[in-house]
Structure 1
Amino acid sequence: MHSFEGLEHALSLERFGRYLQWAGGDRTRALELYLYNTRVSEAFYTPLQMLEVALRNRIHDVLSARYGEFWFDEPRVLVGADMRKRIDEARTTLSRMRRPETPGRLVAALTFGFWTGLFGSDYETLWQRALYAIAQRDNGKGLRRKDFSAPIGKVRDLRNRIAHHEPILHEPLGERYASIVQLTRWLVPAGAQWCETYSVLPQVLAGAPTLVVEVKPAEPLDRGV
C-alpha cells in the first residue's frame, strides 16, 4: 500500500484536494490524475513554445519594418504605463545579466503577457496600421484583431496555469491545442506543420483519464506572465 501523507504535504492539501475531488475521494486515482496533469502540461510545451516564439518574432519583424527595430521606444506604439513598465523590466533583466541590449535580446526578454497585450482593444489602431500584417488566414485573407485576441487570451491563461504548475484537466485541452496550431498556422504555416509533426500532445490527450467529479474551471491566473 502506498503512503500519500508525504506527497500530500509536499503538494499542499489544497492542491492535492482538487485531484481528490476529481477522483471522487479515491487517493490512488487522485495520484494518477496528478501524474497525468503533469504529463499533459509537459506535452503542451512544444506547441506553446512554437506559438510564443513565432508570435513575438512576427510582431517584431512587422513593427520594425514600420517603426524601426527599436519600435518599443516609439511613443505611437505602446499604450499605457503597464506596457512601458514591462519594457523597463526587460531592460533591467538584461542589465542584471550584464548582456548588451539589442532589439533581439529585448524581444526575447519580454513576457508572453506583453505580446498578447498588443491585441487588446487599445491596440485597434496599431492593428489597422501595422499589426494586421503579422498573420493571414489559410486562404490568404486578412484577419481582424478580434480573430486573434479571443483565442490567444484563452491560450495565454492555459499557458500561465501550466507555468504555475496548476491543474489544467478541467480545461477543454483539445480545443486549446487546436487553437494553438491554428494561431501558429496564421503566423507561420511551417511552424504549425512542425507542431503537428513533432508534438506528442494528441497522443497524450487520447489517453486522458475520466474525472469522476466535474469541477468548474478556476479563475484565470495573472495574465502578466
Structure 2
Amino acid sequence: MANVVQQSLIEQLRPVISDERIGTYLTAAGFDTDRALRLYIWNALIGEAFHLPIQSVEVGLRNRINAHLINLYGPRWWQEQVFLKMAGRERASDIETALRRIRNRGASLDTGQVVATLSFGFWASLLQKKYNPPLWGGRLSSAFPYLPPGTSRGDLANRVKRVADFRNRVWHHEPIIKKDLLAEYSVAMELLG
C-alpha cells in the first residue's frame, strides 16, 4: 500500500516541480527521475520530522529571552524606550511589524502576542555580540540556567544561528539531503537541554 501511495505522489509531483527545484535531486539520484522524486519526498518527510525539535528550540528560546527582558525592562519591555533605544532601529522595526500584524488580526496587544508574533530571527539576533553588555553582561546564566558551564554568549549565538539556518532550509522546502542531519538534530537537542 505504501508503494502505491508513494507512486501516486510521484505521478502528482512530476508536472508541478520546476526543473530548478528537482535538479539537485536528479543529480543526487544519478539522473533517474523516479528516484529523484522519491528523494524529493524523502527530503520533505525528513523536514517534517525536524519540525517539532526546531519549533521547540524556537519557542524555548523566545520564552527564555522574554523572561529575561521582563526582568530587565518590565512586562511590556517591547514598548519601553530604554529597551527600544538599546535594541536599535532594526529590532524596533521588527517590533513595529509585529504590532501591526497583531492589530490587523484584531488581537490584544499584550506581551504574549508580541512574543509569539516576533520572528525566530528577532530572538536569535538578540544574542549578537552588540547586545552583550546591555543584555547579557554577567547575566547569561540567569536567562539560561541550564547552560553548560563555560558556554559563552557567542557559543549560544552560533548554535542558535545554526538551528535558525537549518530551520529556514526546512521551512522554505530547500534540499537538506546533503546536510549532516545527525549533527543538525544534535545541535537542536543540545539547545533544548
TM range (shorter): 0.7 to 0.9
Q: Distance in 2 between matches of 1:63 and 1:26?
A: 53
Structure 2 residue aligned with 1:17: 23
How many equivalent pairs are there? Answer: 184
TM-score by length of 1: 0.75
Structure with the bigger percentage of helix: 2
The counterpart of 1:135, out of the listed 128, 131, 144, is: 144
Q: Distance in 2 between matches of 1:150 and 1:3?
A: 38
Sort the Cα spacing of 1:127 and 1:7 in 2 relative to 1 into closer, same or farther, 3 A: same
The counterpart of 2:74, out of the listed 45, 68, 72, is: 68
Q: Is the contact made by 2:70 and 2:77 (CA closer than 8 Å) also made in structure 1?
A: yes
Q: Is the contact made by 2:141 and 2:147 (CA closer than 8 Å) also made in structure 1?
A: no
Q: Distance in 2 between matches of 1:110 and 1:3?
A: 35
Structure 2: runs of 5 or more not aligned: 1-6
Q: How far apart are residue 123 of structure 1 and its match? A: 1.1
Q: Is the contact made by 1:48 and 1:159 (CA closer than 8 Å) also made in structure 2?
A: yes
Structure 1: runs of 5 or more not aligned: 186-225
Q: Is the contact made by 2:124 and 2:157 (CA closer than 8 Å) also made in structure 1?
A: yes
TM-score by length of 2: 0.86
Residue identity opposite 1:161 in structure 2: R
Q: Distance in 1 between matches of 2:188 and 2:22?
A: 28
Residue identity opposite 2:186 in structure 1: A
Helix, strand or coil at the partner of 1:146: helix
Q: Distance in 1 between matches of 2:150 and 2:78?
A: 24
Structure 1 residue aligned with 2:92: 84
Matched residues, percent identical? 36
